[in-house]
Each structure stands twice: as C-alpha cells, then as structure tokens.
Structure 1
C-alpha cells in the first residue's frame, strides 16, 4: 500500500513538472466562459491559462506591437486571419471556437419584449453598444439597427462602450436602460440570468464567428497548443454552449 501511494505521488509530480503556462488574449464577450474553461483546463491538464480580456481591435494592435500573448480568442474571424497574413499567427492554427449571438437586454424584468419593439418607443433614454469600429458585437448592433431602419432615430440615445464588457456594464448598472450585449453575458443554461431580453435573429447581422489562433510567440509552448486542443473537446464545447454560443 505504501509503495502504491509512493508511485502515485511520483506520477503526480511528473505530471505537474511538465505543466506550463500560456498567456491568452480573450475577447471581452468570452471572458466569463473562458474563466470557467481555464479552471477546467488546469484541473484536466495541469497547465495554467493566464487571461487578459478586452476588445479584439485593441488586441490586434497590441499583438502587432509585440505583446507577449501566445493564444488569441477573438470576437471575430477577420482579425486572426489578418494577423496570420501579417505573420503573427502560426499558419493553419485558426479555427472557430464559438459563434456568438447578439441580445437587446435590460437589467429590469419586463422591459424588453420578444421582438425588440421597445426600440421604437420613448421609454428609454440610453442605448448602450460596443464600439462598432473595434468590437464585432458593436458592428452587429449597428447592422441590426440598420436592418430595423432605426439608426438615425436612436443615434442621440446611443452610449458607446470601449468593448462589449463596458456596454454590458452600462446596462447592468442601469446607466443605460437598454443595451446590445453578448448573449453569453446574460444567459446561462437556457435562460436569462437577470432582466429581460430579445435574442436578435441571426439574419439581422453578419455571423459573429469567433476564431482562436496560436500566435507566433506561443508556437513552441506546449501549454498553448494544449489549450487550443482543449477548446475542441466535447467537454469544452458543452460549457461553451451553456453560455448561449454555438460551439
């Protein structure tokens, strides 16, 4: 029995001795799910994912300027493709890890109806969106308003966050009565976690395909490759779906 316990201790030590660390740039909309995934990833592999969340457009500039990120989990598919063309992404490493959904949301119950008709009313003063120039969810929000023919009507009421996390913050605190946010920020296991919302039909904006990529700085890091592999496992996909993404 003692010998068996010793052997198990040695094997555990050997496993953790090869555990590494990976620096990950995570799109703001995926920060919550990625925190959960990072916990699972460390338990299952021993590797630690160190996360930084923010706007994909800002990560693009930082990566080009030498930021030490090894994996990028973007909020779109265009940014990783562009970085690959420019030599900052390991060729062939890109894949779609999630397809996001846009939601018109209020922190209060009963405010947002099933068709988003509240946008046509005078019942709100502020509508929060992410910066459409740097955040794909912001671009999707503008596309939705264009589809509804409401851009000019609501423009005076728009408050713009730097990224989707800030748009959610404006809305969740009530500083904006309505906000276009990522479904993952307000949804868990098939229902809204709080407030009321309208899941915007997918045909009202371009698909929000979110791509992962192995960055050049992570090419020789086994932990970086392990994380990208882990994101494609059934266990990871199930967690991603629980937040309202297609995986």
Structure 2
C-alpha cells in the first residue's frame, strides 16, 4: 500500500462567524488523490468546514479562526498568502450550479482567463480537455457558444466541475454536488468522481450514506453539541466508519441513515 500523503492538514482548527463559534478544535488529514467524505446532521458545520479549506467562507462575512489549515505545508491563513492562488488550487463546487449567464465555452474559460491571457488555440484545448474530463463533451460539443443556462441540471453541475478543472486544481471541494438531481444525473456525478479520484484530491459533503460508501476512501463524521458548535467526532476509512465505528454517535447516525 502506498504511503498516504496529506494534501491538507487541519490542526486544532476552530472557526467563528463574527463572535459565533461554528466549529471547535478540528484536526484531520485529508489525503492526496483520495476521496474524503464529510457526513453529519444538518447544522453541524460540514459546509462551513468545507468552505474554510480554501477560505471561501470569508466571502460570506467576518470570520475568525484558531489553529492551522496547511496545504502541502503552507498555512493558508497566513496574512500574506495569495488567496486567488489558494482558490485556484483548491476549487469549489456548490450544491446548486452557479453558472454565469454566458455561453458554455465562456463559463469554462472564465477562471482560465483570470489567470492570464492564452492564445485562442491553447484556450480551446484547455476548454475541451476540462469538458471531456467532466464527461460532458459529447453532450455539449455542438452547444459551446449557446447559453450554459439551457443545459439540464445535471449537465450544469458537470459544467461547474469542468470550470473547476480548467484551472488545474490539486483539490476539489464538493458541497452536496448531487443536490436536487435525479438518480440518473446523480449517478453521472458519482461516475465522474470515480474517474477523477486518481488525479485529484476530492472532499465531498453528502447526506447520502449509500453514495458515501460507493465513492469515498475516508469518512469524517461531524456532530454538534447543545450549543450547535460542530466538532469532528471520528475519522477513518469509509469501511471502518460504516462497519466498525468507535463512537456510539457515529454508529447511531450511520445506522439510522442506512436503514
């Protein structure tokens, strides 16, 4: 078995929106080229934790943190860190497609153009590669210059993934990427995650326990206390979390949602 290398190392991490504590003392290693699932009841801080891994949470309000989040050894919360670079290398896909009101092509090209100018031929190659990587090329190759908003919900979500892939990230964070999708569209997203797992580190928040068992290598279970402050209860291989958890709260949560 190859050695596990942390792509992201979280140490004693607490998170606040203004003065309200959302997460307390979270420590976890997120391993390179593996799929890590984050599970737990609504309100336990899963999505907040996910967005804290590339500091997207700061777009939603004033935040404070304690502890460290290291991306291949660099603390991303250092004062002089290049936030745009962090967010390119750690991309995010949201529960609902957040496409721009522009063409399929321009949506995928958007982040690439922000990085810098590329010759048209090179940009075309990047766009095609990203859309192919999102398993969407055959469905949209004749619609590249039509509005992305004309695509189905599942296609729009895969286009969001293509847009994330176009800037060549090392990590993709996915917050309920199958939210609101029908079973066929959801399965396509799962198949896409399976195809990307050897090339990227993927962190996914999901309420679908069957999905988690199908696609993830590791699972982190979060739980909130009576003050609605979330913390990490247990982390391990997905097989262990679902068959032999150490904490009764993990066992109760998993069993309730699998049955």
TM-score by length of 2: 0.28
Q: TM-score w.r.t. structure 1 length?
A: 0.29
Larger gyration radius, structure 1 or structure 2: 1
Structure with bigger helix share is 1
